[in-house]
Chains A and B, each alone.
Chain A
């Protein structure tokens, strides 16, 4: 069988970023995807952070299928009846090159992959890579697929095989993802006429709104819910840790139904038609869960390498960054005439560490563990905040000093003074 300069396993954002970068540099690239087409199996909220794509395809806005650019971000803390939180809306987000967009991944990934093909990479879909082929020394020399016993050879294989990294697992590059390191998210696409949607969310043209919510909607499980506006639809979803679902015995769809019935959400989706239902795992183990990302003849990028910043809801951008950096490492070695040995590919790890990808993940490395052990951030606090707001805003003849005292009392009863101080310290630690 043939030999390629590089084989990329998977056609999500990281695989597409890697394949595109490699092909643009003139390398002979094969990309293998198990879905019917790039995007057919890919699920995300989905918000696209423009910067990471701009570095790869500067003029992507000209023809990429983008839904709306975000001009308003809402962060909600919810109890069963109410929500309180922050809204940030700015006309500054109506810029020439907007910063964040909602996208529909099936369409977006298809577009991205078309750019990959036009850049000269060979893309083969409906083909599952079963394992990596190695030589006697253990060096990765290519792939085997479910189509036949043939090895397709390559100097280097880039693993962009997603959160479960089934190929990586089968090939012994990575262990199975732990339930406490993965969130299971479900979402629905609710279709609404454009005018109704724009009136409801107070937007026009291609402006969009993103709502992130936490609180009693997750029934004590660690997770968040979201609602994003697309062109003519809303993405409504919720996600919690797999281990929490397991321990709690709740089904994701039950939780999503609850979220949709919440008095703050129900009016926003009223009258819409659900046309799609999707679910996906999100790697949320953070810095400490990142596996070894390079070896003799191989590199790991995207979700497969656990590159997700759960705190800031960033994943697909990190996927594109890591995909691009892996490709650039391969290109540089090729130009210098150096072999993709483990030692030489260590440059990729170095590039990651010098970029915001690793810096950010490192910054929040304690976060997963701290919130894991302190459920109050997802349960007690949102409830306390809502109660406080209700007390504060209700005009009922009770004097204001009394109200302040009552709010403080509720907080103290909810968490005790020590608890409150302890939580503040924990948050500060997690942040550092």
Chain B
């Protein structure tokens, strides 16, 4: 079975800084990573391939430099990669993004029919969780979101059974293929590729598809033009006024440092001491 995994290159949120004066996100120099939620889907797709055979293609839409994320996915074991990159995609919201990705998947299907599409649960920069369902709707795929386990895949009957985390419990769902799955975080651990994967990933020429190459004829549905979402205002939470307190620990024992830290905390908040001791049963 041919599986397509959609990934997104995102700024590493652990390393983002907010400009102290303008309050805007400083993107320059921030390293990029594969959206962490996507990795659970990638690993699940790789496991299905290992079990049933077939092929995993990773797909992303982004600037030319997004090929580093695709190469990374290849080094983790994906078989092929496609980079969807065109100026007309700039400024896409989730509607336009799902349109572009769905078009590319449809194009891939023309030569190699796609049995399953995997997406991350959501991205860490947009947090909408809309692109996966958007693709499913456009390609008329059955959609299984927040999946925590794939119980069974029957290729001949073209059936899949999964466990889906829902409010108040777990749903066991069964549907027919082709389908779109978004995996829940923590459901697996993404693998380290073998040395052979690394060499292959380093050598692969990643094909870059323009809108036209992806079979998109109406660019009015792409990028800013195809995005009804309007960002009205971007703001960062106001920085905290109070400065961090420093405790001089040179030459002190661990006990003294702990006591000094506690005293400083209690001095800052009188109720804290009382609450803590009440909880401790004193």
Contacts and interface: CB of A to CB of B under 8 A. Distances in A.
Nearest to B192: A147
A152 interface: yes
B203 interface: yes
Nearest to B17: A275
Contacts of B198: 124, 127, 147
B193 interface: yes
Contacts of B196: 1, 148, 150
From A30, A123, A148, residue with most partner B Cβ within 10 Å: A148
A122 B250 contact: no
Interface string A1-16: 1100000000000000
Contacts of B193: 147
B202 interface: yes
B199 A147 contact: no
A124 B75 CA distance: 9
Nearest to B202: A122
Nearest to B203: A122
Interface string B181-199: 0000000000011111011
Contacts of A150: 194-196
Interface in A22-57: 30
B202 A127 contact: no
From A2, A124, A127, residue with most partner B Cβ within 10 Å: A124
Interface residues on B, range: 10 to 19
A30 B202 CA distance: 10
Nearest to B198: A124
A123 B201 CA distance: 10
A102 to B, nearest CB: 17
Nearest to B31: A36
Interface string B72-85: 00010000000000
Contacts of A147: 192-195, 198
Contact of B199 (A124, A126, A254): A124
Contacts of B192: 147
Contact of A145 (B75, B195, B202): B195
B195 A148 contact: yes
A152 B195 contact: yes
Interface in A53-75: none
Contacts of A30: 199
Nearest to B201: A124
Nearest to A122: B202
B202 A124 contact: yes
Nearest to A150: B195
Contacts of B194: 147-148, 150
A126 B53 CA distance: 27
B195 A122 contact: no
Contacts of B75: 126
A127 B195 CA distance: 8
Interface in B113-170: none
Interface in A121-135: 122-124, 126-127
B250 A254 contact: yes
Nearest to A40: B31
Nearest to A151: B195
Contacts of B199: 2, 30, 122, 124, 152
Contacts of A123: 202
11 contacts: A1-B196, A30-B199, A124-B199, A127-B198, A145-B195, A147-B192, A147-B193, A147-B194, A147-B195, A150-B195, A152-B195
Interface of B: 75, 192-196, 198-199, 202-203, 250
Given A122-B202, A126-B75, 6 more contacts: A124-B195, A124-B198, A127-B198, A148-B194, A148-B196, A254-B250
Top 4 A-B pairs, shortest CB-CB distance: A124-B198, A147-B195, A148-B194, A122-B202
